[in-house]
Amino acid sequence: MISVKNLEKTYPGAVPTFALRGVSFDIKKGEFVALMGRSGCGKSTLLHQLGLIDTPTAGSIRIGGTDVLHLSDEEKTQFRLQRLGYVFQEYALIAEFTALENVGFPASVLHGGVWDKDKATKLLGLVGLGHRLDHYPKELSGGEQQRVAIARALINDPEVLFADEATANLDTEASVVVLKLFQKLNKELEQTILMITHEPEDKKYVDRVIWMKDGLLSDSESSILKDKEI
């Protein structure tokens, strides 16, 4: 599903920052993978490259057979809309839209302004918010907003769902709800998910962990644990 080869990202400056130093890995269809490592190791940078919201300095990324780095800006936008789902750390909802509108909007854009309210309603039901359809983000808790964001990420049936520390701003109870939701989506819908997390206990929800250290993939958790910080 995802094939990354020798991915590099360097931020130019007086002292260039080598955020990714040649990362290679594969993720199979239907896998639920966690991306873990200490702060500043390059996890978010890697996810930004995979989510096509940043451009790597070198390397290649194939998602669902498409060499995404060779797409034009317009094609990347279309690819993000149609084939990728992205959940941000903060509840990135449109304040002026209801929960239903937040979820349904990307689908209406994809289908030329035609709304599929049933599908949006169904997805909100799936994330446990079937009773909050007409509520605006300010009327929802942080956990509820994040679940709306997850439903929005799923509305166009993405091939991959990226979650960038989606539970970082949630309390333990809300985090568990979101993680179980990811697990459910993975098991029941065979949704491929790549999730960044800092929490060691989140490992129990995923099929596999990709460890990162200093812009590179690490062989195992042990080498990172030596630093006593994840």
Partner 1 sequence: MKTFRSAFFLAYKTITQGNKSTAILLVCILSFSFLNILFITGILGGLGSSITEGVRTTATGDIQVRPQEEPTKKDFIENQDIVRAQIETIPGVTATVRRYSVNGSFAYDKEKDGKYTYVSANVNGIDIDEESGVFKTAETIIEGRMFNPLRKDEIVLGSGLAGGGSGPSDRDLGGVTIGDKVLVTFSSGTRTYTVVGISESGLGPANSQAFVSTQEAESILGTFNAASSISLKMNEEKIEINELRDRLQSLFPTLEIKSYIELLADIGTLLNAFNLIGIFVSVISIAVATVTIFVLVYVNAINKKRQIGILRAIGITPSIIVYSYILQSLFYAVCGIAVGSILVFGIVQPYLNVHPIQLPFGGTSLVLTQFQISYSVLALMIAGFLGGLVPSRIVTKESILQAIWG
Name the site residues for partner 1 (rule: CB under 8 A): 48, 51, 53-54, 74, 77-82, 84, 86, 88, 92, 94-97, 101, 105-106, 108-110, 112-113, 136, 152-153, 156
Q: Measured from the CB atom, is 54 or 207 closer to partner 1?
A: 54
> Order of strands across the sheet with 17-27?
17-27, 2-11, 58-63, 66-67
Backbone angles phi, psi at 59, to 5 degrees: 105, -175
Q: Which is nearer to partner 1, 57 or 218 (CB)?
A: 57
Least distance from partner 1 to the Cβ atom of residue 140, Å = 15
**Between vectors from CA 168 to CA 166 and to CA 173, what angle results, nearest 5°?**
90
DSSP structural state of residue 124? H
Closer to partner 1 by Cβ: residue 25 or 97: 97
From the CB of 63, what's the least distance to partner 1, in Å? 14
Angle (CA) 229 8 160, round 5°: 80
Q: How far is the CB of 97 from partner 1 (least distance, A)?
A: 6
Residue whose token pair is 């991959």: 160
Nearer to partner 1, 96 or 173 (CB): 96
Q: Given the complex with partner 1, which of 25 and 136 has the nearer CB atom?
A: 136
Q: State in angstroms the smallest separation of the CB of 164 from partner 1.
A: 10
β strands within the chain, DSSP E: 2-11, 17-27, 32-37, 58-63, 66-67, 84-87, 160-164, 192-196, 208-213, 216-218
The least CB distance from residue 102 to partner 1, in Å, is 10
Tokens 């060691």 correspond to what residue?
200
